[in-house]
Amino acid sequence: MNIHAIRAIYMFELARTWRTIMQSIATPVISTSLYFVVFGSAIGSRMAEIDGISYGAFIVPGLIMLTLLTESISNASFGIYLPRFTGTIYELLSAPVSVVEVLIGYVGAAATKSVVLGIVILGTARLCVPFEIAHPFWMAAFLLLISVTFSLFGFILGVLADSFEKLQIVPLMIVTPLTFLGGTFYSIDMLPPFWRSVALFNPVVYLVSGFRWAFYGISDVEVGVSLGMTVGFLIVCVAAITWIYKTGYRLRT
């Protein structure tokens, strides 16, 4: 294991975050805080509880999940796309660095940024909405697992994209709508039977449900299913990246 290469990639990516801290940290925190203020404090106080949880507290896991997914994808995709755009990817490909070491460096940095962001937003939410975490260990486990999984997914998107504009298509036009429709602001049990069945085809439902269970011990689907879906997607992403590196697809052209 080339520790020096991993550390170099990891530290370079983290350094880029601190250089753009307003865009990387401050902007998503402020945006999410507005949701807590408007939906949690203002509107939430006028709405009925859901499964015994105040509405303001109920939406906290979903809003954190929304930020986790979009930021994990954006950070990882930009991290690998920039070397492709500037041509420095060839130095990486010719160096004695394996695909595992490259993944640990890039994905580790993107996941670290997402975890830090999630913790900051969690602290911000606690200032706006009172809530307790029923399963702190599983909350941290889901936070880390989802950050790593979608950082891997973002890495794949960064390899496939051929312009800066296309880096934002999946986070903005696919992931964000799926998150809003995945139980962020409501429980899918509140839907009519037909639409509840349709909602189960939304993969984000399982992520939000598992994360909410870690907070309050309630979920729309079995927590084991949520965990299994996340791990399964992680395995698929690792397999896809391994294939990309073995074939050189989109990396050598």
Residue 252 counted as domain residue: no
Q: Residue 217 region, left (φ>0) first, then alpha (ψ -120 to 50), else beta?
A: left
- What is residue 43's three-state secondary structure? helix
pTM for this predicted structure = 0.90
User: 């949880």: which residue's tokens?
Assistant: 53
Residue 28 counted as domain residue: yes
d(CA 25, CA 17): 8
Residue 39 counted as domain residue: yes
Per-residue pLDDT tens digits of the chain, which is 253 residues long:
788 888 988 998 888 777 777 777 778 888 888 887 777 666 766 777 788 888 888 989 999 998 899 989 988 998 888 888 888 878 887 888 888 888 899 999 999 999 999 999 998 888 888 888 999 999 999 999 999 999 999 999 988 888 888 888 888 888 888 888 888 888 888 888 888 998 999 999 999 999 999 999 998 899 999 999 999 999 999 999 888 888 877 776 5
Residue 188 counted as domain residue: yes
Helix or strand run (H / E) with residue 234: helix 223-247
Residue 136 counted as domain residue: yes
For 26, the domain range is: 3-247
If one counts the domains in the chain, the total is 1
Residue 186 counted as domain residue: yes
